[in-house]
């Protein structure tokens, strides 16, 4: 979108020029001088105070002051035979000067410069809104060295150092609290409006604001690797990627600008040569056409909208990896969501133990915990934690083997045991009518089951010792979040779960999910997402960004929840919700749809305006004044329209 991208020809980019602060300052001064001179030329021309030659001299000075940066670009376009916006303006200004319209020529150059400056300002404003987040992180930190705290630049702080943060101060680096408790404002990272209570062992992020307490923090990431720095870096990369609409506009401009240049020359040559038209009249109309042809508003309409949309979401704790993904989420029709950690809290706990062959619950817990101690699965952690609460001692099973989506196996005291879900028990053929009845009763309550028993081994028949019932708390806002997704235009929300179908159905009914699919292995989730794509078209998959990576990759767009501080989740997903908040997805969809509507309006408005003025030009009812004012006005309008995205979206607007 800028001339700084060297992989595309100049005419495929915006007419903006943005080469750094020094260049921006000099061009701003040049435009101011050009404006004063062009205004003076117009005034003395209308009042007749000076001779036409003097007026022409003032107008020429205005053109040189406001257009010195156009000439090199115009010459480069001419040399490469690639007509661009700069060449069109220079040709139009020269043509107007040839027929004595010096004042209009100076106005063309000045107002075109204003349009360029406006585009540069809009782009910088949208980008600075994100870059300003970096300023939230302190430049220095109080670091513990040799038993006392000294102030050092954050660049000198290394992983493992201890830093102190006083009440009301910003936290300098990512880390883990060693001592102290406080409520921390995490809005710069997660978009949360309410401070989060933190205590020893909790993670904190650079740029977040410490509340009333005093904290000592063990640094876990250096300044260039903090979550905040990573967000800024990824957003900057995303802003450089072209969205589909932007690529269309670029291709359109590639052919549109040369075509209009040829048409303008034909308008200048054909009527005088074939129909006896006045050369000056048709040269003037050709110049008007060249100005009307300048696609400034058209070319800037998409990139400014995309940058504004990406920035607005980043400030709300939603990291979108590029304009293409922002457009995709704006067209979302179906959404697949993982159950654990998305619809539920992801912190399951044991609710009870039912005995089958075992005589005591401690025996069931001892076996289950010895196997589950090897696993990081939420259900396994719940079993191990409950065993500890019940003071049940256990060792570590030997020969541990994880069975993805089903359970695990291991050897304890020379015997082969298993822990797993209903499906796993069926595979071992150990489900009797009594066990099926027990399992059905537990699953009807929306609880997960962990079946514990001997697996068939060495000719021995398998048996079930007991069933552990585990429940996971629904997220407080899960029901309202699903309702918000439907209100945002998502036609079908499907919950995918490795739990049994009865449990999945129970939870889906509670929160208003359209369809629940249980008993799914990772491969089955991929198939479920593909089926959803066939039904709905554009679909997304919400998961943790790691375990659900295959299913997320199968969707049009992958969304990771609770990605703050989790590098793997940020890297894997197309969209990363820094806060563990399902409701953010609906907000993202709303803003994606607003972005698409603004882009479509801007493109249609820009093309429509060109068409109207083309007709007026051929009819002789348009002038250079009207053409350049319309072009500048259109540019200003599409920029202002795009920058509305930086305001917080609401459901009524979407």
pLDDT on residue 649: 46
Burial class (CB in 10 A: 0-12, 13-18, 19+), 124: middle
What is the per-residue DSSP string for 311-363?
Answer: HHHHTTTEEE--HHHHHHHHT--EEEEEIIIIIB-S--EEEEEEESS-S-HHH
Q: Partners of 196 in the beta sheet?
A: 184
pLDDT tens, position by position, 447-467: 888 999 998 876 678 899 999
Q: Which residues contact 24 (CB under 8 A, 6 or more apart)?
A: 18, 120, 124
Instruction: Please tell me the distance from the alpha carbon of residue 388 to that of residue 383, in angstroms, as a whole number.
Output: 9
DSSP state of 421: -
The C-alpha angle 25, 79, 7, rounded to 5 degrees, equals 65
- Topology (CATH) of 349-471: Calcium-transporting ATPase, cytoplasmic domain N (3.40.1110)
pLDDT on residue 373: 93
pLDDT tens, position by position, 59-93: 778 877 877 777 777 788 778 777 666 776 777 77
Domain boundaries, the chain: 10-130+235-309+594-646, 138-225, 319-344+476-586, 349-471
Of 399, 307, 354, 218, the residue nearest 595 (C-alpha): 307
Is there a catalytic annotation at residue 631? no
pLDDT on residue 513: 94
How crowded is residue 275: how many other Cβ atoms within 10 Å of its Cβ? Answer: 8
pLDDT on residue 249: 60
DSSP state of 457: B
Across 102-123, b (16+ Cβ under 10 Å) vs e yields bbbbbbbbbbbbbbbbbbbebb
The torsion angle over the Cα atoms of residues 220, 129, 541 and 555, rounded to 10 degrees, is -110
How crowded is residue 87: how many other Cβ atoms within 10 Å of its Cβ? Answer: 23
Biggest CA pair distance of the chain: 114
Which residue, chain included where needed, has tokens 């003395």?
44
Backbone phi, psi, residue 338, to 5°: -75, 145
State whether residue 51 is helix, strand or coil.
coil
Backbone phi, psi, residue 223, to 5°: -60, -35
pLDDT on residue 15: 44
Residue 226's alpha-carbon distances to 9, 135, 138, 158, 459, in angstroms, are 36, 13, 12, 12, 56
Counts for the chain of helices (H) and strands (E), in that order:
22, 22
State whether residue 303 is helix, strand or coil.
helix
Range 138-225 has CATH code 3.40.630.40: no
pLDDT on residue 124: 67
Burial class (CB in 10 A: 0-12, 13-18, 19+), 323: buried
CATH homologous superfamily, domain 319-344+476-586: HAD superfamily/HAD-like (3.40.50.1000)
pLDDT on residue 238: 54
The number of C-alpha atoms within 13 Å of 398 and in the hemisphere containing its C-beta is 5
Find the catalytic residue in 174, 338, 372, 472. Answer: 338
The list of the chain residues with pLDDT below 70 reads 1-24, 83-85, 88, 96, 99-100, 115, 118-136, 187-194, 234-254, 293-296, 458-459, 544-547, 563-572, 625, 648-654
Q: Which residues contact 580 (CB under 8 A, 6 or more apart)?
A: 341, 561, 562
């Amino acid at each position: 979108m800028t001339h700084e991208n060297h992989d595309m020809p100049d005419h495929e980019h915006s007419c903006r020029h943005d080469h750094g602060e020094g260049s921006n300052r000099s061009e701003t001064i040049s435009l101011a001088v050009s404006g004063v001179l062009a205004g003076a030329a117009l005034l003395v021309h209308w009042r007749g105070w000076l001779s036409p030659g003097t007026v022409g001299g003032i107008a020429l000075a205005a053109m040189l002051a406001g257009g010195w940066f156009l000439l090199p670009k115009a010459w480069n376009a001419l040399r490469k035979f690639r007509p661009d916006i700069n060449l069109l303006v220079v040709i139009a200004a020269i043509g107007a000067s040839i027929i004595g319209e010096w004042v209009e020529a100076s106005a063309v150059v000045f107002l075109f410069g204003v349009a360029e400056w406006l585009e540069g300002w809009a782009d910088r404003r949208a980008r600075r809104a994100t870059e300003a987040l970096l300023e939230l992180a302190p430049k220095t930190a109080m670091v513990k060295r040799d038993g006392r705290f000294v102030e050092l630049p954050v660049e000198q702080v290394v992983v493992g150092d201890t830093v102190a943060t006083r009440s009301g101060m910003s936290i300098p680096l990512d880390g883990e609290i060693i001592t102290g408790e406080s409520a921390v404002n995490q809005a710069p990272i997660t978009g949360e409006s309410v401070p989060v209570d933190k205590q020893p062992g909790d993670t904190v992020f650079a740029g977040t604001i410490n509340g009333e307490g005093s904290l000592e923090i063990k640094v876990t990431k250096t300044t260039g690797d903090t979550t905040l720095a990573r967000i800024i870096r990824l957003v900057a990369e995303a802003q450089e990627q072209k969205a589909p609409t932007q690529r269309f506009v670029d291709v359109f401009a590639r052919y549109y600008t040369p075509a209009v240049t040829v048409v303008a020359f034909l308008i200048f040559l054909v009527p005088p040569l074939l129909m006896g038209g006045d050369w000056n009249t048709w040269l003037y109309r050709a110049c008007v056409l060249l100005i009307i042809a300048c696609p400034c508003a058209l070319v800037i309409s998409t990139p400014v909208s995309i940058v504004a949309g990406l920035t607005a979401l980043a400030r709300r704790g939603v990291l979108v990896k590029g304009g293409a993904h922002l457009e995709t989420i704006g067209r979302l029709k179906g959404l697949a969501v993982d159950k654990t950690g998305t619809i539920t809290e992801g912190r399951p706990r044991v609710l009870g133990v039912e005995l089958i062959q075992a005589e005591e619950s401690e025996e069931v817990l001892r076996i289950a915990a010895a196997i589950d101690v090897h696993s990081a699965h939420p259900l396994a952690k719940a079993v191990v934690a409950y065993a500890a609460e019940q003071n049940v001692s256990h060792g570590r099973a030997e020969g541990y083997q994880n069975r993805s989506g089903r359970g695990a196996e291991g050897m304890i005291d020379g015997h082969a045991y298993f822990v797993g879900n209903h499906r796993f028990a069926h595979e071992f053929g150990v489900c009797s009518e009594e066990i099926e009845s027990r399992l059905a009763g537990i699953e009807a309550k929306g609880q997960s089951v962990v079946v514990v028993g001997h697996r068939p081994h060495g000719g021995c028949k398998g048996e079930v010792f007991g069933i552990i019932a585990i429940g996971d708390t629904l997220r407080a806002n899960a029901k309202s979040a699903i309702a918000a997704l439907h209100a945002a235009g998502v036609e079908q929300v499907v919950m995918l779960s490795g739990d049994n179908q009865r449990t999945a159905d129970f939870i889906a009914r509670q929160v208003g999910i359209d369809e629940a699919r249980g008993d799914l292995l990772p491969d089955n989730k991929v198939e479920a997402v593909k089926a959803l794509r066939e039904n709905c078209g554009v679909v997304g998959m919400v998961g943790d960004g790691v375990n659900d990576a295959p299913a997320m990759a199968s969707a049009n767009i992958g969304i990771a929840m609770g990605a703050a501080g989790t590098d793997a989740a940020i890297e894997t997903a197309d969209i990363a919700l820094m806060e563990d908040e399902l409701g953010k997805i609906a907000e993202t969809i709303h803003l994606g749809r607003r972005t698409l509507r603004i882009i479509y309006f801007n493109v249609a408005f820009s093309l429509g305006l060109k068409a109207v003025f083309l007709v007026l030009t051929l009819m002789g009812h348009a002038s250079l004044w009207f053409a350049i004012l319309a072009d500048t006005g259109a540019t200003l309008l599409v920029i202002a329209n795009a920058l509305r995205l930086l305001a917080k979206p609401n459901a009524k607007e979407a």
